[in-house]
Amino acid sequence: MGKALFIIDVQNDFTEGGALGVDGGAAVAAAITEHLRAHAGEYTIVLASRDWHDADNDNGGHFATDADPDFVSTWPPHCVAGTAGAEYHPALDTSRVGYHIRKGQGVPAYSIFEGRTDAGSTVHNLLDEHGIDIVDIAGIATDYCVRASALDALAHGQRVRVLTDLVAGVAAESSEAALAELGRAGAELVATD
């Protein structure tokens, strides 16, 4: 029996002042760091995802280029590979992260399961290789990439726990709806304290 922590998209562009910054993003970055300091020994593996979009195209329609973004399926440019916006937020200590997952790279991607390590490993393979059956999920944004990653982890057969005090969402209403959906799908909604 193994346990993994997924840290979803705690990047500068998704925190206050970023291209798609959410309120509470910086606080979540710091809180995840504290959680890892206190609980790193509980995790078999720690994975952190980042959007890592191409600079020279619309990333499969993900970036709005011909019209205003609808903030549902099209977005302003964000987390462009190699830019400061794509980097982890400075309050997130990544020294305990064993696997860095890049997603996007020319296509829309919300779930950590849509990404790969630089060596080409998929999240499915990493979970299987390490015998993971429990996944804790923290990060940004509750109503988009956290939601998608949790649903995919459930579909992979994991017991999923969303750490509700370690997530931040785009909007309160859609974040509450996402958490309710995840609860109905079988995820546990738990606070770390």
User: Would you name the residues annotated as active-site residues?
Assistant: 9, 103, 145
Strand order from edge to edge, sheet including 2-8: 99-104, 45-52, 2-8, 132-140, 159-168, 188-190
Closest CA relative to residue 8, chosen from 180, 123, 171, 159: 123
Q: Which residues contact 75 (CB under 8 A, 6 or more apart)?
A: 20, 62, 63, 64, 69
State the first-to-last Cα distance of the chain, in angstroms, to the nearest integer. 23
Sequence-distant (≥ 6) Cβ neighbours of residue 34 within 8 angstroms: none
Q: In 22-158, which ranges are E strands?
A: 45-52, 99-104, 132-140
Residue indicated by tokens 């191409």: 54
Q: What is the DSSP pairing of strand 45-52 with strand 159-168?
A: unpaired
Taken as a whole, the chain contains a residue count of: 193
Dist. CA 30–CA 32, nearest whole Å? 5
